[in-house]
Structure 1
Amino acid sequence: MFFRALNDLKLRKKLFLSFIVVVFIPVLIVGIFLTDQLRGMALDKAMDQTTTNVERVKARTQELIDVAYDSSYRMANDDRLATVSNKRYETVYEVVQAYRDFQEFNENRRLYKEISNLRFYIENPTMLDNWEFIQPEPAIVRSDWYQKAMASPNGTVSWHYIQDERDQKQYLSLVRKVSFVEQSTSGVLVINVNMNMLNAILNQESFETMLVDDRNTIMAANRPDRVGKTMEDIEFDQDVMKEESGSFEADVDGKASRVLIEPLIPVSSVNSLRIISVFSIDTIVKDANRINVYAFIVISASLLIAIILIYGVSTILSKRMLRLSKHITKVATGNLDLVLEIDGKDEIGQLSRQFNSMVYSINGLVEAVKNSNSQMNLLESKQNEIKLKMMASQINPHFLFNALESIRMKAHLKGEKEISRIVSLLGKLMRRILEVGNGKTKLADEMDIVRCYLDIQKFRYEGRLEYSLRIDPRLEKYSIPPLIIQPLVENAVIHGLENKLEGGKVSVQAGIEDDRIVIDVYDNGAGMTGEKIQQIYKSINQVEDDERNRIGLQNVHLRLLLIYGDGHGLHIESEPGIGTRISFTIPYGGEWHV
């Protein structure tokens, strides 16, 4: 099929098709491959750089928060903190003096620039709030970070993004429970990390980098507008958001991006942090895309020049072929006095020489044909004479109808009404059969032929035959092939009920099931074995050019397959001694529908 279609193309189109197959498609494949490789190399390089950057951010952030952890460890084991926090003061002066003597918080802020602030929450009604020692208010006590700290074991810490009451700003904060065993009390130490230093670490990265807690809150980022938001707020991919580590592809702010997640697990922490780095794929492959554009321009220019050259060559060849085609057309119109002259020794020149030789041969054949025409005319006249004699020998069907009508009238006049009715039915049946031709007939008319046939057979069997015809009213005007049901009924009567002494029944039904018309012919006759049914199937599926099978089962089966396709042939069900059912289906609403 492909080569046939290729041969139908004009030469110019073939040359262009050859160019596309031989040059354009390989160049396109190579271009796509190189583009994909450049893109992959750019992404891999960006991924390696991101991994290195994230490891650097992780190391520097770890150093930063380790300072807060070391400070919390010293504070938790400082006896002076226990004394100041648990003493019951008599006067305000005693409280102020105790705060003045306890300078550990100030010393930590002064010595460690990584720490922004320290504060200690403890329930001691004799103390005053001075932003360092704070009585926890109900809102603080109910907060998630405070309750987690009070419920955590001694020696463990947790990291939260919480607000400092002093300046109302959010900080990455170490939260640690401090238990005083001797006094049977406990408090919560909060150390704020220097956010300026943390943001400075992230701001050195070229790709978007964020520090996120276990609740998906962005605590620090090199994009200030991200800080304080959650991953849901920036429309981060829900599936990637749940990941603890790894490299992923996701949509961030509506752009296809690569995401690298690195876990940061601080020392003795009950929760972990994550460093998330995001870079847009379009940004990374921008340079590769620019190179691809330049390559595309160069390749396109080369292909354009090649197309122009192919067009010129094909035009020269097409002109020579067109001259040959025009001469062939003139010969086809009967002009045989032509001599074609085309220069060149290529295939086209060879064709021109063969063309001239062919024209010379045709001239000789024309003369020979003229000599044989007289003999052919004589033979044709003899054949027509034979046909006329054969037609004259045929019996005129009207003679047979007139004879049947005369018999019917004679029987009627002598009181033989039953014989008169049967002769009338026989005449009607024969007329219907001769009138149907090879076209279409309505289902109601086909049923009328069946009814005539069954009435005649009922007369013949003298009460041994009963029948029923049922047709869906919607199908009465539906067109079907002619003589498609009557042969099945005839088969049921002759082969099914021939030896049945009494109680013979034939049922014909036509109805609609789903999108199909189902026509069913049933008899309660002798039935058949499974082996016999297989023999019938084998017989009716053999295509034989035999006029005797024209109205038999084979004819009906093959006509159904030819008209409606596979699956619409005869279906036979039978059991010995019970009966036989022959059915077939017709598509409802097809080309035969009127």
Structure 2
Amino acid sequence: MFLFRMMNDMKMKKKLALTFISAAVLPLVLSGLFLTGKLREIVIKDALTQISNNVERVQKRTEELLKVPLDISYRLTVDNRMKRVATQQYEDYADVIQAYREYTDIRDYIQLYKEISGIRVYVVNPGALNNWEFIQPDERIMAKTWYKEAIEQKGLAGWNLIKDEQSGSEQLSLIRSFSADSLGRKGVLAINIDQRQLSSILDQESFTTMIVDNKNRIVGSNEAGYWGRELSEMDGDQQILSGQEGSYDTVINGRDSKVVVASLEPENSWNGLRIISIFTYSDMMRDANRVIRLGAIVITASLIFAAVLIYAFASLLSGRLLRLSKHMTRVGSGSWEAYLHIDGKDEVGLLSRQFNSLIRSVHELVQEVQDTNNQKILVEQRQNEMRFKMLASQINPHFLFNSLESIRMEAHIRKQDDIAEAVWLLSTLLRSSLEAGNGSIPLCKELERVRCYLDMQKFRYEDRLEYRLVSDPDLDTMPVPPLIIQPLVENSIIHGLDNREEGVTVWVEISRVPKGASVKVSDNGAGITPERLAGIRAELAESIHEQESERIGIRNVNDRLVLLYGGTSALNIESTPGQGTVITFYIPGGVPVD
């Protein structure tokens, strides 16, 4: 009872400070010491696991890298065209140059595969030339150890650090011999591994990691000073040089270290490589100690800061502030009608009155903003509907004028009764145009309208007009806007036949693409000049058109596509004068048919 009375009589700031010290500081200190010890153990264990995983990752990625030149070497050693170029007898140097120019496989491999940087074919042929791809080996080259080993191994692949004939630098290369012709002559194939690709594998590792060949030469390393050196130059244990696979403790350059060695034996190779990863215990412990020191600093600073804040602000806490806080919580949850009344003329009372006034103002402002937004959305919706109807109606008079003019001219020239067929086609088109509203129609109906229009135009132009309609049957029921393809076909006929006596062919191709369909209208007509094409693209790239334009058909289709589906469905026009025009657009799926 005495303890409770003492706590009740104690001021708020002292009470909170004592509670914080007894209930937070002591448990936090004990927990921090315990967690610090566990953290040290985890860091050490994770470091040991990480180095093993790093070696395994480097081993797998390097093996994948080596598979590329190995596969290319298989192809080249059985490539009779390559052998013929390397061994055939040439009458003069012009024949050699021509043969080298026609054989592009080696250059194609280098451009296609980023894992390799060069390919060299060594075959003795006195009549040939050296061009960094086909090289005539002299006595100096044939005396090289790697060249002799390749000949002796009879087709097996080898991995050596050799000097490149073109760049003059040493690079890790695949070496293998092959039968050059039926006379028993041998050639040697050398494929250089791209050093950047090899370095990119090693540079991602945080510990010192090296790739070593069977002669203990470092062919790759994430340490710039190690590449190309002998492994024996490092002050380390003989276990590293012996090639034993596994992990063990050693001393390198006077520092206790952990070494993990993994072998890499490529397929059908007479030698292999080794992956060696090294990290020192001091580096490992340094990271752990840094984490521990950082944790101790953060915990201490947090405790001091919290204690100061609690002691400084405890006296500010009171029942009136708690009431105000609770009221704010209710308002934050959406209770705009809750008002708080706190007696007093001090800052807390004034704050409560101002807060009540603010709540009323905010409530009225929110209501006003909501009403304004609703009106704005409604106005924009009506404007878009009106604009869409105006755009959809523009195309019918334009099309009717052209169609009637075509039939009139044909009747005047031919004076034949078969004009009835054209009249029937026209009536069908007019009926479908008049029935077209603002909704969607199945794609098959739109294509039927296009086919009807093309048949009528073919009646006019006869053999000067041919057309092809190709559509995925699965897209027949897909909803599309009415009169969305026919204006593009009309444009191809009118402008494609311009000043062309030989006629034109119009293609309409509709294919399935992800989440929709791709529509392509093309012709082999007169085409569009670059200046005129630039003007058309600029006009279509503008916002929805409000005024007349000479390209009413294309403009109308483009505006409706943008209004319905957005900018990704806008028309894309490509044209070459004298070769034709291609217009493509995209229709997304999922729009229901009205």
Category of TM-score, reference length = shorter chain: 0.3 to 0.5
**Length-normalised TM-score, structure 1:** 0.42
